Amino acid sequence: MNKNLIITGLVIFVLAVLSPFWFNIVTTTQAAPEPELLGKAKTEKKCVLDKYDMRANHMSLLDEWRDAVVRDADRQYDAANGKSFGMSLSTGENSCLGCHEDKAKFCDTCHTYASVDPYCWDCHTNPKEIE
Amino acid sequence: MNQKYLIPLTAVFLLFLVAYTGVEGAGLQWFFGIVFPYVAIIAFLAGFVYKVLGWASSAVPFRIPTTCGQQKSLPWIKQNSIDNPDTSTGVFVRMVLEIFLFRSLFRNTKAAFNRNDSNKLSYSWEIFLWVGALAFHYSFLVVVLRHFRFFTSPVPSCLKWLEYIDGIVQLGLPGIFLSGVVLLAATLYLLARRIFDVKVTYISQAADYFPLFLIIGIAATGLSMRYFTKVDIVSIKTLTMGLATFSPVIPEGVGGLFYAHIFLVSILFAYFPASKLMHMGGIFLSPTRNMANNTRAKRHVNPWNYDVKTHTYPEYEDHFREKMIEAGLPVDKKE
């Protein structure tokens, strides 16, 4: 096979493998978000789970909550830290967004950073947006 | 049980444990998260380039395309221009189909004895290797491409499209990505094929099992992190972005499973150029595929041929003409 063709292919391959490196050089890289605790969450300080657990596991918890509420009408979650919460994403003072008031800062920054597009908002609305 | 797969299996287990305990017990996050990935990517690229350049510089003295159809012949005989190409366009089409659709695997046959009294050996078409290989390669490609979300910020929209299509089933939370599941299933199938098909077992070596176990390990740890044990994805992305921007950081709270995953991936990268996985580069350079079968239309001189001193008959006659005429021998050219 033609040697120039092989070298061309090899150069393209090497560039493709190194793309994570040069892509971040030629484009401006967004830094990792620092989620802010605002409003009620700032004073409350106690969430449903521990901080790391919450960061890693909240989607499974929400999934379980959805099934518990929709199938068993069970709307109360008693957390390990002794507090109790309403099993709701956006309804009521005791829900997720009831405490973490700013969806854009609390949910979206990390989701955008990690390229996660949760389908929560296909059905739910952000109460702040309605008002 | 056979050592050809027990040793690679043990090796992958040990590699997993080395990283897991190294992080959980000895706190070597910086080694498994930063140093080794860099070493692995350098080893991968250097090894890959070295291998391909080695192949590029080896001579291919003969036209040896495998021909799987009618050669170009008389105008009224229909040529199979893809399976027996005589032009570079035909070769290009053949290569593209081979690389993207694995056509030579599609032709796979198996040999087996008939189950009835005749006990005749018969060959039949066996498509499942092709199916498994396609499923494996494409799902792995999608999984690798999806991981670019950990190395780009903001994530390009084409990756989001890929994630959207890959996650179209919307099962559970986090939503299931089909490629990951297919990857694990396909590697398990390819492994089962090696273990349970005795004829394939017979020709399987440790070097065939090791990459399979390694990829199974990678897929299993990855799926486990995403769907079962869970990790903080934002912390992990700060680590991977640190690697990509040459300002590595070790995030807090990320457990040994993630480091085991990235260690197995690094091992795969480092091991790649020394293994059969180099068919990734080799497929482009297979002389039996990338050459046109035009030996009857074109003269191909072996580049290894040295200049043979020849003495043709006209030269001979020029040399001895006078003596030949003197001796009364017939000559082609008088004077």
Q: Average model confidence (pLDDT) for chain A? A: 85
Confidence of residue B66 (pLDDT cuts 50, 70, 90): very high
> Do B264 and B311 belong to one domain?
no
Q: What is the ipTM of this complex?
A: 0.89
Confidence of residue A1 (pLDDT cuts 50, 70, 90): low
A→B contacts (Cβ < 8 Å), by residue, are 1, 3, 6-7, 9-10, 13-14, 17-21, 23-24, 27, 29-33, 52, 55-57, 59-60, 62-63, 110, 112-119
What is the three-class DSSP state of B109? strand
- Region B269-281: what's the mean pLDDT? 96
What's the domain count of chain B? Answer: 2
- Region B51-61: what's the mean pLDDT? 90
| CB spacing of A30 vs B153 below 8 angstroms | yes
- Region B270-297: what's the mean pLDDT? 93
> B5 CA to chain A: closest CA distance, Å?
30
- Region B44-55: what's the mean pLDDT? 96
> Do B258 and B327 belong to one domain?
no
Written as six digits, the tokens of A123 are 């059905």
pLDDT above 80 (res A131): no
> A45 CA to chain B: closest CA distance, Å?
19
CB atoms closer than 10 angstroms to residue B243: 20
> Considering the entire predicted model, what is its pTM?
0.89
pLDDT at B272: 97
For the segment B7-28, what is each residue's pLDDT rounded down to a tens digit?
Answer: 999 999 999 999 999 999 999 9
Q: Which of B151, B89, B147, B136 is nearest to B294 (CA)?
A: B89
Angle between helix axes B206-223 and B256-271 (nearest 10 degrees) is 150
Distances (CA, A) of B138 to B101, B163, B168, B186, B295: 10, 14, 17, 10, 36
pLDDT above 80 (res A43): no
Residue of A nearest to B162 (CA): A115
Written as six digits, the tokens of B183 are 């990857």
For residues B254 and B236, the answer to whether their CB atoms sit within 8 Å is yes
pLDDT above 90 (res B302): no
Distances (CA, A) of B26 to A2, B192, B239, B243: 51, 36, 19, 22
pLDDT at B173: 82
> Do B330 and B218 belong to one domain?
no
> Do B59 and B91 belong to one domain?
yes
For residues A57 and A66, the answer to whether their CB atoms sit within 8 Å is no
> Do B220 and B321 belong to one domain?
no
pLDDT at B52: 95
| CB spacing of A114 vs B234 below 8 angstroms | yes
> Do B330 and B184 belong to one domain?
no
What's the domain count of chain A? Answer: 1
Q: Which of B163, B140, B135 is nearest to B150 (CA)?
A: B163
Please give the residue range of the domain that contains residue A72.
36-130
Give CA–CA dist A86/A78, Å, rounded: 9
Of B76-80, B161-165, B302-306, which gets the smallest average pLDDT? B302-306
Note whether residue A51 is domain-resident: yes
Q: What is the identity of the amino acid at B208?
A: D
* Residues of chain A contacting B253 with CB distance shorter than 8 Å: 52
Please give the residue range of the domain that contains residue B326.
305-335
Q: Find the CATH number of the domain harbouring B43.
A: 1.20.950.20
pLDDT at B1: 56
- Region B277-299: what's the mean pLDDT? 92
pLDDT above 90 (res B150): yes
| CB spacing of B232 vs A116 below 8 angstroms | no
List alpha helices for B86-232, DSSP H: 88-101, 103-106, 128-146, 157-166, 178-196, 198-203, 206-223
